[in-house]
Structure 1
Amino acid sequence: MTKNLTLISFDLCPYVQRAAIVLAEKNVPFERVDVDLENKPEWFLNISPRGKVPLLKVGDDVLFESAAIVEYLDETNPPALHPANPVTRARHRAWMEFGSAVLGDIWTLEVTADQATFNASRVALKEKLSRVESELGDGPYFAGKDFSIVDAVFAPAFRYFEVIDRLADLEVFDGLPKVQKWREALAARPSVKNAVVADYNDRLLRFLQKKNSILGRLPLAA
């Protein structure tokens, strides 16, 4: 890979984090440019078909959708993070989609002001994480000792709870020791730590409070 790479980003976006983690795991240099999604610049709208991040500029080409971006990076930059076996690789891609569904539940928990919706999303999230628990082995990562793209997908989802846990114990990790161990291993990995700005947690908290959601109205734990 010799083309210059630019990751078009938003500071809180978990899908951007996926790409940043994969780039870091492969030691690929790149420039990161943040955009304000509440005031999207014209140049961004001109190159983003859905008006969303992430985008990856590869020379004069632009890739969109995080799954396509991380697949491209894995195909063009060693070491491979996807498994070599075709069936196992396909299963990993399916778990990437499952990770996006997990993010959907977390997003609802973050922004809803309706208690019934909040409760339903919490139950749905716990059910999904319970299914993940049954899939995990001895760890420390999804596929054992080897870090994979599935790890890059779930790490940003787990990161949300660094803030959420300070607001409320949703009990979604209770009784799930393998998921909790996985969460801790991902949080300690340098590529995951460095995928966000240093004050990410403070920015996320301000975002929640601005939404005036159920979570955002809760006081921080002492």
Structure 2
Amino acid sequence: MKLKVVSFKACPFVQRVLIVLECKRIKYDVEYIDLAAPPDWFLAISPLKKVPLLIVGEDVIFESNVINEYIEERYDNKMHPDSLIKKAQNRSWIEFGSSVSMCTFRLTILQDKSKFIVELEELSNYFNQIEKVLVNEPFFNGSSLSLVDATYAPAFQRIDFIEQIYGSIYDKKRHRKVINWKNRLLDLEPLRKSTVPNIKELYYQLLWTRQGHISHFLDEETFGNRGPQSVY
């Protein structure tokens, strides 16, 4: 049975799922929707009105971490470690990764410069915590990709996009292992396959639409007059 993922084109949480599907070489289809004007069929099956959704026959699963756990249990090429304690620790850092992703999202919507700087400091504190637990190479658990890697890769990709217009976000002395891990994840073929080809342009368009402080680092001639503020 071929799986179907419901997405919008710039969603990092959908990317988590697609990275896992790519790593496990599972065939799937993607249907993109406009979350600013979601279709009725989507609203009828999505309790939180969010993506991703995984459609398995007549059944629907929502929330990226839950979807990835289903895929992990259902299919071969396991990405979780065998040890129960290490598996639980991985799940803890996956949850921590959601905090990193939400911090990255807030960087795109905060309009006040001082609040933006505070959020950058919060992100740096998250990196400090991650730096302490990165004892393996090249990935979180060592040589094999894990669900933890799939969780952080989309956030790192967006932070990289922000750095390209804003400047350095990582501390090269304090976050050396985080930077190395990030660079390896950004080079992954499953990450590239998890996005549409113009993901960077779409992301910058989102920044412009959200009208946060970071949007002032974009070229106004490229994006034109600002319309109504929107997160989508």
What is the deviation of 1:188?
A: 0.8
Residue type of the partner of 2:49?
A: G
Counterpart residue number, 1:209:
208
Uncovered stretches (5+) of structure 2, i.e. residues with no partner:
220-232
Counterpart residue number, 1:107:
105
- Residues 57-76 of structure 1 deviation map (CA, whole Å, 9 limit, x = unaligned): 00110000111100000001
Counterpart residue number, 1:25:
23
- Residues 23-45 of structure 1 deviation map (CA, whole Å, 9 limit, x = unaligned): 00000000000010000100000
Q: 8 Å contact 1:158–1:183 — kept in the other structure?
A: yes
- Residues 141-171 of structure 1 deviation map (CA, whole Å, 9 limit, x = unaligned): 1111111000000000000023211211243
Q: What pairs with 1:1-222 in structure 2 (closer than 5 Å)?
A: 3-175=1-173, 176-219=175-218
* SS of structure 2 residue aligned to 1:8: strand
Change (3 A) 1:16 1:173: farther
Distance in structure 1 (CA, Å) of the matches to 2:29 and 2:218: 37
What is the deviation of 1:55?
A: 0.2
Q: 8 Å contact 1:125–1:172 — kept in the other structure?
A: no
Q: 8 Å contact 2:170–2:179 — kept in the other structure?
A: no
* SS of structure 2 residue aligned to 1:57: strand
Uncovered stretches (5+) of structure 1, i.e. residues with no partner:
none
Q: 8 Å contact 1:162–1:201 — kept in the other structure?
A: no
What is the deviation of 1:217?
A: 1.0
Distance in structure 1 (CA, Å) of the matches to 2:103 and 2:195: 21
Normalising by structure 2, we get a TM-score of 0.91
Distance in structure 1 (CA, Å) of the matches to 2:70 and 2:136: 29
Distance in structure 2 (CA, Å) of the matches to 1:173 and 1:182: 14
Q: 8 Å contact 1:173–1:179 — kept in the other structure?
A: no
* SS of structure 2 residue aligned to 1:205: helix
**Larger CA deviation: 134-143 vs 89-98:** 134-143
- Residues 113-168 of structure 1 deviation map (CA, whole Å, 9 limit, x = unaligned): 01222111101100011110110024111111111000000000000023211211
Distance in structure 1 (CA, Å) of the matches to 2:80 and 2:195: 23
Residue type of the partner of 2:181?
A: W
Q: Identity percentage over the alignment? A: 33
Aligned length: 218
Distance in structure 2 (CA, Å) of the matches to 1:102 and 1:24: 23
Distance in structure 2 (CA, Å) of the matches to 1:58 and 1:25: 19
Residue type of the partner of 2:195?
A: V
What is the deviation of 1:180?
A: 0.6
Residue type of the partner of 2:84?
A: P
